[in-house]
Amino acid sequence: MFFKKEQATMERTGVTKEAVLDALRQIIDPDLHRDVVSLGMIKQLEITPKPEGSRVGFTFELTTPACPVRDQFKSQAESVVKALPGVGDVEVAMSANVRQSAPGGRTGQIELPNVRNVIAVGSGKGGVGKSTVAVNLAVALAGTGARVGLLDADVYGPSVPSLMGVHEGIRAEDKRLIPNESHGIKLMSLGFMNTDGKPIIWRGPMVGQAVKQMLGDVDWGELDYLLVDLPPGTGDASLTLIQSIPLSGIVVVTTPQDVALGIATKALAMFRQLNVPVLGIVENMSGFTCPNCGHESHVFSHGGGAQTAENLKVPFLGAIPLDESIRISGDEGHPVAVRDPGGDRAQAFDQLARKMAAQVSIRNSRTIPLVVR
């Protein structure tokens, strides 16, 4: 009896699941270029008939909690469904389910079944602030609700422990290393094991073995993103990592002056040659604004990262200014994305993280089946 009454009300008001889904098909994901219904983003659609207008509720499942158009999607969904005749209330619950990178890679690569995406952060040279970018990217991603890990693969000069304010050693359980945690990030670094401050003098094979252990012998748990801070250049640690695990992609960090851009271009070409997807370029130390007079000067030039990205036909993820607060935050072990989450510098990293996550979703979009309703 209730079913017949509900069906009669829906027929009278014209509110059906098909009508709601057809309305939602108007919403196109700007990155994936498909409508959100065919992408399978609309879940748990329920229609509750009421005399004053049916209540429509559903879950809008994003491909990443760092979606840059999350609020826009919610507003659009509420608007197009509310416009249907017979609809009273619309309740949209926003959630996220990060897709896993497509399987593949070389035989014998390390498998991390609980890690959905591994993203390398690299550069062709030292001194461009790559580790600072990697740390703040990780913190910004975690701030969106994503489950994030950070591996410091710089064997000779690990800096993640200092930048994240963690200096204790590492422990093991059941022959697995347990990562340290800070600011909501799971961390692994050789710096946690080498606490006496002595320099590490290793040849290539030992470096490669250390990187493999910090990848495969660690209990990472469930992660949406594992960021890997590569050492400068294209040496043994970087090559071992690339050959040891299928990467979702790499973010290339550079400063805007010609010498850095030239080296970054060569590094990018190497990553492409090794079939590593390039998620984009970050221009660090892009400009300096005087805190006293407000004058902006371009100490290391400006705009080179964006131009290089255009020339190489890869995304430009954004520019990070040369700013004392970023340096101070790193020295104190409280990344600026944590220390001043509402500030301009933290917001710059937040936008950077969201653009990077969008690129990962684009790369993974081929694994999202077309939903036919």
Note down the domain range covering 183.
118-367
46 with 92, same domain: the answer is yes
The string of pLDDT tens digits covering residues 217-227 is 899 999 999 99
Per-residue model confidence (pLDDT) at position 157: 74
Predicted confidence band of residue 1 (pLDDT cuts 50, 70, 90): very low
Give the Å distances, CA to CA, from 290 to 287, 327, 330, 335. Answer: 10, 15, 20, 21
When divided into structural domains, the chain yields a total of 2
| Whether pLDDT at 126 is above 80 | no
Eight-state DSSP code of residue 313: T
Q: Which residues are registered as beta bridge partners of 250?
A: 120, 278
Percent of the chain whose predicted confidence (pLDDT) is above 90: 46
Per-residue model confidence (pLDDT) at position 4: 47
* Burial (Cβ within 10 Å: 0-12, 13-18, ≥19) of residue 197: exposed
Residue 20 resides in a domain: yes
Of residues 323 and 72, the one with the higher pLDDT is 72
Per-residue model confidence (pLDDT) at position 104: 56
Of residues 73 and 203, the one with the higher pLDDT is 73
Give the Å distances, CA to CA, from 116 to 184, 277, 360. Answer: 17, 16, 11
190 with 327, same domain: the answer is yes
Give the Å distances, CA to CA, from 354 to 25, 59, 89, 193. Answer: 24, 21, 31, 32
Residue 249 resides in a domain: yes
141 with 77, same domain: the answer is no
| Whether pLDDT at 365 is above 70 | yes
Task: Read off the pLDDT of each residue in 323-347 and give the average, rounded to a whole number.
Answer: 87
The string of pLDDT tens digits covering residues 169-212 is 888 888 888 999 999 999 998 888 765 555 554 455 566 677 77
Per-residue model confidence (pLDDT) at position 8: 47
184 with 88, same domain: the answer is no
Residue 112 resides in a domain: no
Q: Highest mean pLDDT: which of 193-207, 276-290, 293-307?
A: 276-290
Predicted confidence band of residue 297 (pLDDT cuts 50, 70, 90): low
Task: Read off the pLDDT of each residue in 244-266 and give the average, rounded to a whole number.
Answer: 84
The string of pLDDT tens digits covering residues 252-262 is 998 887 777 78
Q: What is the CATH number of the domain that holds 333?
A: 3.40.50.300
173 with 91, same domain: the answer is no
Q: How far is CA 105 from the centre of its chain?
A: 21
**Last residue in a domain, options 96, 131, 147:** 96
222 with 177, same domain: the answer is yes
Task: Read off the pLDDT of each residue in 51-71 and give the average, rounded to a whole number.
Answer: 94
Per-residue model confidence (pLDDT) at position 98: 94
85 with 234, same domain: the answer is no
| Whether pLDDT at 74 is above 80 | yes
66 with 166, same domain: the answer is no
Percent of the chain whose predicted confidence (pLDDT) is above 70: 83
206 with 332, same domain: the answer is yes
**Last residue in a domain, options 61, 96, 131:** 96
Predicted confidence band of residue 279 (pLDDT cuts 50, 70, 90): very high
Task: Read off the pLDDT of each residue in 324-334 and give the average, rounded to a whole number.
Answer: 88
Residue 106 resides in a domain: no
Task: For residue 114, give the nearest of 224, 227, 272, 266 by alpha carbon.
Answer: 224
Per-residue model confidence (pLDDT) at position 344: 87
Q: What is the CATH number of the domain that holds 15?
A: 3.30.300.130
| Whether pLDDT at 84 is above 80 | yes
